[in-house]
Amino acid sequence: MGRHGLLLFLVLLFCSTGRSQEVVFKISKSYFRSDPFRSEFSAFMKHLLNDPFIKDKVIEKRTDTSLFYFGGEYSSNVFNPFFFTPKRMEVALSEVPVKLDSTLTDTIFVYELFVYADDNKEGKEEITKEYDKILKRYKNNFYKSEVRENPPGAKLQGGNHNFFDRYHAISPFAVALYGPTNKKEMCMVLTLRMEKYNNLAMLPAPYIFDRKETDEQ
């Protein structure tokens, strides 16, 4: 590819990626109390880890043999971005390994909000309505989606929708609904996947860069 062709490709990629990131930004701002895209990643981490409205916190720092993990439960009646009142909500931020090709493994951050309702008629109707609303609102804003339904007869009913951007290898957003759990609850999970670059949260695994070559330079 010549210099002018490469420049045009970069411009088109930037514009397309910008639109995709804008959708993820809106989702993050709408549903997550600590927004990783609002400021620098270090500020997001500080806000999340020190949030006084998260109880029963679990923090596992990154070591030579393990990756970072944070989890906790939101105190009742302090945070609710939904149109119904969940029974409870949990939040988790995990650093996980991902295999980008046959020779390269990287790590990304998986940021999840777990929303619970009782396994009764009212609880099922409310959480399913919210789930369907999120799907309808965002499904046309991504390049494609993949649906994984739990097989008939599985202990947990439901499924998972992963939404993909055209220029990134990993789905940046997913929403799942499953249950009933062993606690007789229905659970909706909102998932953001991201990576940190120059202290900023970005969509994970862009196709444009050969990470191995970049790391070697």
Query: What is the overall mean pLDDT for the chain?
Result: 85
pLDDT tens-place string over residues 140-168:
899 899 988 877 766 667 789 999 988 88
Using the CB atoms, write b or e for 188-199: b if 16+ within 10 Å.
bbbbbbbbbeee
Domain ranges of the chain: 3-216
What is the Cα–Cα distance from 106 to 70, expressed in whole angstroms?
19
- The DSSP 8-state label assigned to residue 120 in this structure reads S
Q: For residue 102, what pLDDT is reported?
A: 63
